[in-house]
Amino acid sequence: MRDTLLIALYAFAGAAATGLLGAAALRLLRRRSLTASLTVVAAVGVVAMLAGTLAVAWAMFLSSHDLSVVTTVVAMAAAVSLATALVLGRWVVARSRELALAARSFGEHGDFAAPEVPATAELAAVSRELAATSAKLAESRERERALETSRRELVAWISHDLRTPLAGLRAMSEALEDGVAADPDRYLKQIRAEVERLNDMVGDLFELSRIHAGTLSLSPSRMSLYDLVGDALAGADPLAREHGVRLVGDRVEPVPVEVDGKEMSRVLGNLLVNAIRRTPPDGTVAVAAERGPDGVVLSVTDGCGGIPEDDLPRVFDTGWRGSHARTPPAGAGLGLAIVRGIVEAHQGTATVHNIPGGCRFEVVLPTTAS
C-alpha cells in the first residue's frame, strides 16, 4: 500500500508540475490565436502523462535497459498523441475561422449567414446568437429607415404649413403698416387666428418631442370617464357646429379611470377634431366608453368613408396625413402621433379600423379597481 501511494505521489508531482507550466504558458498566450492555445492544451495533456510516467519509472529504480524501453514507448506514444491532437485541433480552428469570416461579412453587409460546415456546440451557439442579432439589427434598420422617412415628411409638411400662415401674416401686416387695409379689424382678427394656429402647431411639436424623448411626465388621478368625455364633447361642439357635424355621446358609462386628466383630454380632443374635420356635413361623430375584456375601451367613430387598407398601419405615424382626399386644410399630421404617445404612456393601446361608412379609433386603458 505504501509503494502504491508513493507511485501515485510521484505521478501526481510530475503531472502537476507540467500542468502549472501549461497554465503559465496559456496566460502568456491568452491574446494569441486559438491554434496556439489548443497546441498548449494538447501538449500539457501529453507531457503531463509523459512526466508522470517517467517520474514513476525513475522512482522504481528500473534497470537501464527497462528504463530505456519505458522511456521510448512513452515518448513515442506522446509524440503520436500530440500529433493526433493537433490534427484534430486544426478542424476546430478551421470552423472558428469560418465563423469569423461570416461575422466579418455580418459587420460589412448587415446580414449574417451561418457557415454550412458543422461546428462544435459552442461555435454553433455563437452562430445562432449572431443570426438572432442580425435579425434584430435588420428590424432596427427598417424602423430607422421608416423613422427617417417620417422625419423628412414631417419637416416638409411643417415647412409648408408654416410658410402659408407666415406669408399671410406678412401680407396683412404690410397692408396694415402701409394703411391700405380696407377693414383693419378683420385683418387683426385674421392675424390673431393665424397666430393661434401657429401656437397650436408649436405646442404639438413640443408635446411630440417630449413623447419621443421619454420626458412626458404624467400626474394620474382617479376620475370618471363620463366627466372626461363630457368635457371633451363640450370643447369640440363649436367646431362640430361650424362643420355641420352632429356629436353623439350616448353610450358613455361612468367608468372610473386612473389617468392624467390634462393629457387624456388632449387625446380626446385630437380624436374628436380629427373625426369632425373628416366627416362630411350632416354626418355624425359618435363617442362611446365602456368596460371591455382588456380594460376600458374609449372609441370615436366618424363618417370619413374609411381609410385605405395600405394606410391603416401608418395612421399613428408622425406626420401621416393619408391620401389627398383626406388631407385636412390645416394641421401637420401630429395629432394622432400624440394620441398614441400619450395612451402608451398610460400603459394603454390606440388602434383604428374601418367600419361601414367610416372608421373607428379605439383607446384601451387599464381598468381601475372600483
Q: How many angstroms separate the CA atoms of 298 and 293, rounded?
A: 13
pLDDT of residue 301: 92
pLDDT of amino acid 368: 66
Alpha helices in 285-356 (DSSP H): 335-345
User: Residue 165 pLDDT > 90, yes or no?
Assistant: no
Which carries the bigger pLDDT value, residue 169 or residue 97? 169
- Which of 114-128, 180-194, 202-216, 329-343: highest mean pLDDT? 180-194
Instruction: Compute the distance between CA of residue 346 and CA of residue 231 in angstroms, rounded to an integer.
Output: 20
Selection from 268, 279, 228, 233 nearest residue 361 by Cα? 268
Q: Are 229 and 289 in contact (CB under 8 A)?
A: yes
H-helix or E-strand containing 135? helix 121-178
Question: Distance between CA 331 and CA 191 in Å, rounded?
Answer: 17
User: Has residue 86 got a pLDDT over 70?
Assistant: no
Pairing of strands 284-292, 221-224: unpaired
Alpha-carbon span 288 to 201, nearest angstrom: 28
- Residue % of the chain over a pLDDT of 70: 64
Task: Tell me how far apart the alpha carbons of residues 192 and 184 are, in angstroms, rounded to a whole number.
Answer: 12
Higher model confidence: residue 176 or residue 114? Answer: 176
Per-residue confidence band for 326, with pLDDT thresholds at 50, 70 and 90: very low
pLDDT band at 350, cuts 50/70/90? very high
DSSP 322: -
Mean pLDDT confidence for 224-247: 89
* Per-residue pLDDT at 349: 92
- Determine the pLDDT at residue 329: 42
The confidence band for 127, taking pLDDT boundaries of 50, 70 and 90, is confident
Q: Which residues contact 108 (CB under 8 A, 6 or more apart)?
A: none
**Taking 70 as the threshold, does the pLDDT of residue 31 lie above it?**
no
How would residue 14 be classed by pLDDT, with cut points 50, 70 and 90? Answer: low
Rounded to an integer, the average pLDDT of 324-343 is: 66
Looking at residue 362, its pLDDT comes to 92
Strand order in the sheet with 349-355: 246-252, 284-292, 295-301, 358-365, 349-355
Mean pLDDT to the nearest integer, 41-66: 66
Using one digit for the tens of pLDDT, what is the confidence trace for 177-195? 888 777 888 888 888 888 8
DSSP, collapsed to helix, strand or coil, labels residue 216 as: coil
Contact 120, 144 (CB under 8 A): no
- Is residue 214 over pLDDT 70? yes
Q: Please report which confidence band the pLDDT of residue 4 belongs to, taking 50, 70 and 90 as the band edges.
A: low
Instruction: Please report the pLDDT score of residue 181 as a whole number.
Output: 76
Say which residue the cell 377693414 belongs to: 183
**Mean pLDDT in residue range 156-165:** 74
Least confident of 73-87, 173-187, 320-334: 320-334
Q: How many CB atoms lie within 10 A of CB 300?
A: 27
Pairing of strands 349-355, 358-365: antiparallel
